[in-house]
Structure 1
Amino acid sequence: MTLRPLYMALPALLLAACATRPPRAEAPATPPDAPVFDTVPERYVSATDPADELDSLASWTSPTGDTWLIASAKSTDQLVVFDADTGERLRTVGGPGDAVGRFDRPNGVAVHGDHLFVVERDNHRVQVFALPGFEPLGSFGQDRLRAPYGLWINETEPGELEIYVTDSFMYGERFDVVPPLAELDQRVRRYRLVFDQQGRPRSHYAGSFGDTGAENALRVVESIAGDPGADRLLIADERIPREDGRNASTLREYSFKGRYTGRSLPQDAFAAEAEGVALWSCSATGGYWIAVDQLAPLTMFHLFERDTLAPAGSFKGAVTAFTDGVTLHAASTRAFPRGALFAVHDDAAVAAFDLADIAHRLGLSAECGG
């Protein structure tokens, strides 16, 4: 499909993430003494399709060197596959339903090896597929998941996976009432998974976690990502009540065992909701976290030091707005020798940022290309 020039990218029709999507958060006016954020132009923005309501992203590289970008499309109940180097739309997978290989409100997606994991909010499960053919292998979580959104995968031993799934179930007629604090220890569910000799996933439920204190509880969760070397999970909380009646948002730090460390990213770093988060690992210990601030007219991407979580700069694109999911592909591709950051644009398209451009514009560490 022919790519649409950046200046022709059209805004998407915004649909509900749960029941109704809150109004877009506009970027606040910048005071005169505030730091100027860098602009990093996108290398491409794909053609838009507002019907999809794209949410989360994952990347996969074939043995022949083709890199795919796999996006969940919540409203059309399918996956959309793009050429990660060009943004060309290649194919769709699935469709509405609860049968094997079908979807009901797919959200989080993740790739591990040649396996694709897809979270379905309204089928209350995680489906597993084999790449490149998208053959369904099985599913798990149906007996416990209530409104799953995001996931992150950690390989604890060769062939053994630990999978963290956020479960943002809500109450009320519009599903917009946060559960009582005592129930928020179910905000993240943990599964252990292996593949049997026939290649089918075999999972074991390993419990749930989430702080239940009034100050630090995980109220509305979706995105989650981890750093195995640091025993660190970052979990986005999108609705933190403030004294003025408004909500704040941040990412909270947990250990892999589910213990809240007491640390969070600065709440004042996010003017809107903290959404997608990805680790940019440039060495064994060096690199940055990239976190989405879901703003309009332009998304802000905040960087934090990998080890200290100290702010390390922010940037915005020329077009990319109201981003949900991101994925960071650090390996070289044909179009991105230093890797790329891929982001959802306005629910309707995908955008690509060259990691070399980000490193240069923000003056990042030499090990990340700055």
Structure 2
Amino acid sequence: MASRVVRSWRLRVYALILLPVAIALLGVLALVRQHKIAVEPVVVAERFRTTAPHGESDSLAVWRDADSGTAWLFVTDKHGDRVQLFDAATGEYLRDLGTSGAEPGQFLRPNGVAVWSRADRPSLARTDLLLVVERNGARVQAFSLPDLQPMTAFGAGELEKPYGIAVAHGEDGLPVVFVTDNSKSPTNRIRRYDARIDIERTGTPAANTVASAPAVEAPGLQFACTRAFGDAGGPGLLRFVESIAHDPEHGRLYVADESPRSRNVKVYSDDGAFLGHTFGDGYIHFEPEGIALWRDGREGWIIVTDQQPELSVFHVFDRRTLGHQGAFIGRPTVANTDGVALVQGALGSLAGGAFFAVDNDAVVAAFAWDDIAAAVELKRTGH
């Protein structure tokens, strides 16, 4: 009699535990069917979320200190005219950067954000950089890391409606910055800025020569627009652009075109030529947003966000062939995602790396890369 009572009690406990999970999964599947997603995504449980305060979150970037291993997650807050800083390993809120205004260190609707790191390759630059795109300020500001001091601003008078940003290294090891700009002319939808070191201010030999509009000067570091590009028509036409990512091993730019007439990612070379390839066609049903790369030599994967109001779907593409590999969604449901970021290597409790995604313009959800790779059945490709 006692054993039957114990078994009955255990069954009730299991039911209480599993019922909410089952209901959540049924809800997710209902959303998948409702939104007519091209492939049925797998479900990946998030590991943690950022803590308050939050604002109107948009884009993400992660910086890791090569010496201490400290990792910071930067989140732009468009409404609050600030950049929020969190501990990337735990999601704990640390501090704000910036206030509303047009002075150095202030922002007017910050949108895109990126981190440029010297650790990626040798460079004459003396500091890592945090770069922030201001939509209403129509400029890009650069801050030194880790002290977060304003260094310079550039793009004023050239950029019209800037949104997204990607960074790279020039042949000299100095920063290269790509900014998406919804300008009047489609041939100016992406602007490339190259950095140089001011020899008179630093005593450092001059780096790359820039030939274009005058750069905005700051002690030691200058940026100038060296190229503006985008096809005037055809399959390479960029109608409405925001998210952009640079692939250094392939020399490619992945540019999300959010227009309902496109809804794909277009592939450009980093010197401005459309390479004749798009991907995401038929898979993206709302707006292609945040893009992140998992780099494994020349192999790896590209994650592209299908930003839907009630359910964000994260599509995974082969980095070499651009072929679709699968898709995943979050549990709890992650929706209306703008920015994403990906960290390779151990990060706190996430031994295999981390993937971050904005949820509903507010919090940031963190996923273990190992969980994603197992669920989507991604296999290490080698070099």
TM bin (shorter chain): 0.7 to 0.9
Matched letter for residue 98 of structure 2:
G
Asked if the contact 2:135–2:161 (Cα under 8 Å) also holds between the matched residues in 1, the reply is yes
Structure 2 match to 1:61: 64
Asked if the contact 2:39–2:283 (Cα under 8 Å) also holds between the matched residues in 1, the reply is no
Change (3 A) 1:28 1:267: farther
SS of the residue 2:170 aligns to = strand
2:94 corresponds to 1:80: no
| C-alpha deviation, 1:143, in angstroms | 2.2
Say how many residue pairs are matched: 323
Structure 2 match to 1:202: 222
Higher RCO structure, 1 or 2 (CA under 8 Å, sep 6+):
1
| C-alpha deviation, 1:322, in angstroms | 0.7
Structure 2 match to 1:284: 297
Picking from 81, 98, 101, the partner of 2:102 is 98
Picking from 313, 330, 337, the partner of 1:317 is 330
Q: TM-score, normalised by structure 2?
A: 0.80
Identity of aligned residues (%): 39
| C-alpha deviation, 1:284, in angstroms | 1.1
Distance 1:162 1:235 in 2: 16
Structure 2 match to 1:269: 283
Report Cα offsets for 1:176-229 as digits up to 9, x if no partner. xxx4xxx20000011111344546421121121111115541011001012121
| C-alpha deviation, 1:158, in angstroms | 4.1
User: What is the RMSD of the two structures over their aligned residues, measured on CA atoms?
Assistant: 2.0
Distance 2:115 2:39 in 1: 37
Distance 1:158 1:340 in 2: 30
Report Cα offsets for 1:7-43 as digits up to 9, x if no partner. 9xxxxxxxxxxxxxxxxxx7553779x7531001111
Distance 2:41 2:180 in 1: 31
* Greater than 6 Å deviation, 4+ residue runs: none
Picking from 22, 28, 34, the partner of 1:29 is 34
Asked if the contact 1:193–1:203 (Cα under 8 Å) also holds between the matched residues in 2, the reply is yes
Identify the structure with the greater helix proportion.
2
Change (3 A) 1:82 1:298: same
Gaps of 5+ in 1: 1-6, 8-25, 170-178, 242-247
Q: TM-score, normalised by structure 1?
A: 0.83
Asked if the contact 1:48–1:348 (Cα under 8 Å) also holds between the matched residues in 2, the reply is no
Change (3 A) 1:354 1:367: farther
Gaps of 5+ in 2: 1-19, 21-30, 118-127, 203-218
Distance 1:237 1:30 in 2: 20
| C-alpha deviation, 1:366, in angstroms | 2.8
Asked if the contact 2:46–2:365 (Cα under 8 Å) also holds between the matched residues in 1, the reply is yes
SS of the residue 2:233 aligns to = coil
Structure 1 match to 2:251: 231
Distance 1:91 1:74 in 2: 16
SS of the residue 1:230 aligns to = coil
Structure 2 match to 1:70: 74
SS of the residue 2:45 aligns to = coil
